[in-house]
Structure 1
Amino acid sequence: MGIELQEMLWLGLGLLIAGGVTGLLAGLFGVGGGTVSVPILYELFRYMEVPEEVRMPLCVGTSLAIIVPTSIRSFRAHYARGAVDMNLVRLWAVPVVIGVLAGSLIARHAPAEVFKAVFVVVAGLTGIRLLFGKDSWRLGDILPGRAVIRAVGLAIGVLSSLMGIGGGQLSNLFMTLYSRPIHQAVATSSALGILISIPGALGYIYAGWPNAAAYPGVAALQPPLALGYVSLLGFILFIPTSILAAPFGVKLAHSLSKRRLEIAFGAFLLAISLRFLASIVI
């Protein structure tokens, strides 16, 4: 068995296990995007000695691709229940996509530290809010004007595309701060997952194409195992095990109180933020 085939098999096994861990944590914490998969992919690709220069964008691009089928399935289920605020989705659609494409262009030229810094700030602030925030925190009883909503959509698109997330973390926060019910916020955010993941994955394929070619010795980046900054093995192998493991996480979540879940997820986010911060500083 050749060295390259051995590396490929180890990578495949690692991705299956990582997908299972991601699904378990996603079911436990109620998230389905890059907040969980990006740090797991990062550690896996680090172990596989993927070059630091392309490791973080490869994790982000792969995460966005993984989110595509999940977000479509989630949106269809929420839409069938009539829980999605389509008026808000229409206001967000164009600026979110523009933000995602802008983030993909940034990814083409930005150093790895940019991706890590965005993850540290957004995940860190979310973790702090989960640990110390209160349900009574509000900015208003109704959403702000259209200009503000569109500006928020643009920011969500840029940040989500640089973090490899479906945008739910950010849009949920925005909507609940303006007194929207959490179930409506989650349902509406599922539509953003489609608007972010599809153009985001395509953008990272474009962004990473010349950079991936510069590292032909890394199995994870060689065609046909990768398209630009999207690992095809990661996309294919993550999904089945994450789907199989998610119900176990959901079952565990229902055995815990809401506050314990918030503390656990907040601590997880802060730990990941500190891990990425350390990799920037050291």
Structure 2
Amino acid sequence: MIYWMAYLLVGSCAGILAGLLGVGGGIIIVPMLTFLFSMENMPAEHIAHLSLGTSLASIVFTSISSFRTHHAHGAVKWQIVRRISPGIVAGTLFGSWVAARLTTGFLKGFFVLFIYVVAVQMLLNVKPAPHRELPGVPGMSFSGSIIGCISSLVGIGGGSMSVPFMLWCNTPLHIAIGTSAAIGLPIAAAGAIGYIANGLAASNLPSMSAGFVYIPALIGISGASICTAPIGARLAHRLPVLHLKRIFAIMLIGIGTKMLLSLG
């Protein structure tokens, strides 16, 4: 019961953050699941893979709930979603295949590095100068494949990369955040499929797992995030997001440092 409550709490926070900050709830889900799965004494060699796969599977539901609210505010540019999705899917499937062949230690270290980069970006409010327009189909496919591959390696919906990319291409901030929520769906769906498929042959997985997706955590996180993602999306149009991002960045540094120390 304690772990079910923990999954619901993680999902609630992730849903709000996904809608509010456009960074993807996975950046909270992955480290929290890593800690919880360790407490549950799950096989150490699979903890990172299960955290990443379960995070991506839960983001399928979070992204749907979030982008519907953003769409209602006219903040989703569907042309971008259609053009970038093929590259997103290909890159995400490739990334999940690579991740299945990496060790838990490497994946944790890569996630810590990523979380520090995101935190610094938020603290300094780093935004790429809008130098150009959105590229054509080849450029969008290439960009999508990079975003998808990295997203699958860190278990996120890609907002911390897709939002800066769209800002660089002269997309208004509220459109970039809303469109990023929609882009999170193909990332999450392809990532979940990849982690399930690549985990089917793994031995010593906990019961109630589908490959590298742990079903109880998926149910708890998804159920809560579906309810809270629209709240975060609505708050994004009302609250001082910049100040909230800086507070969240400090939290990320703390989370990343705790994960780093656990590698020792």
Is the contact between residue 28 and residue 250 of structure 1 (CA under 8 Å) also seen in structure 2?
yes
Q: Compared with structure 1, are the counterparts of its residues 104 and 275 closer, same or farther at alpha carbon in structure 2 (3 Å cutoff)? A: same
Q: Hey, what does 1:114 align to over in structure 2?
A: 106
- 1:227 matched to 2:210? The reply is yes
Q: Compared with structure 1, are the counterparts of its residues 71 and 276 closer, same or farther at alpha carbon in structure 2 (3 Å cutoff)? A: same
Instruction: Tell me whether 118-127 or 166-175 shows the greater mean CA deviation.
Output: 118-127
From 84, 89, 92, the equivalent of 1:92 is 84
| RMSD of aligned residue pairs (Cα, Å) | 2.8
Alignment of 1:166-245 (within 5 A): 166-211=157-202, 213-215=203-205, 221-222=206-207, 225-243=208-226
Is the contact between residue 95 and residue 149 of structure 2 (CA under 8 Å) also seen in structure 1?
yes
- 1:267 matched to 2:250? The reply is yes
> Partners in 2 of 1:231 and 1:150 — Cα distance?
31
| Residue 178 of structure 1: how far off its partner (Å) | 2.7
Q: Hey, what does 1:18 align to over in structure 2?
A: 10
Uncovered stretches (5+) of structure 1, i.e. residues with no partner: 1-8, 216-220
| Residue 30 of structure 1: how far off its partner (Å) | 5.3
> Partners in 2 of 1:95 and 1:160 — Cα distance?
12
Is the contact between residue 141 and residue 178 of structure 1 (CA under 8 Å) also seen in structure 2?
yes
**Secondary structure at the counterpart of residue 138 of structure 1:** coil
> Partners in 2 of 1:259 and 1:197 — Cα distance?
26
> Partners in 1 of 2:25 and 2:115 — Cα distance?
12
Is the contact between residue 62 and residue 201 of structure 1 (CA under 8 Å) also seen in structure 2?
yes
Q: Hey, what does 1:278 align to over in structure 2?
A: 261
Uncovered stretches (5+) of structure 2, i.e. residues with no partner: none
Is the contact between residue 26 and residue 36 of structure 1 (CA under 8 Å) also seen in structure 2?
no
> Partners in 1 of 2:181 and 2:59 — Cα distance?
10
Name the amino acid aligned to 2:257: L
Q: Hey, what does 2:65 align to over in structure 1?
A: 73
**Secondary structure at the counterpart of residue 180 of structure 1:** coil
Q: Compared with structure 1, are the counterparts of its residues 119 and 244 closer, same or farther at alpha carbon in structure 2 (3 Å cutoff)? A: same
Instruction: Tell me whether 249-258 or 231-240 shows the greater mean CA deviation.
Output: 249-258
Decide which structure has the larger Cα Rg and report it. 1
Q: Hey, what does 1:3 align to over in structure 2?
A: none
Q: Compared with structure 1, are the counterparts of its residues 20 and 92 closer, same or farther at alpha carbon in structure 2 (3 Å cutoff)? A: closer
> Partners in 2 of 1:62 and 1:108 — Cα distance?
13
Q: Hey, what does 1:5 align to over in structure 2?
A: none
Is the contact between residue 19 and residue 238 of structure 1 (CA under 8 Å) also seen in structure 2?
yes
- 1:46 matched to 2:35? The reply is no
Count of aligned positions = 264
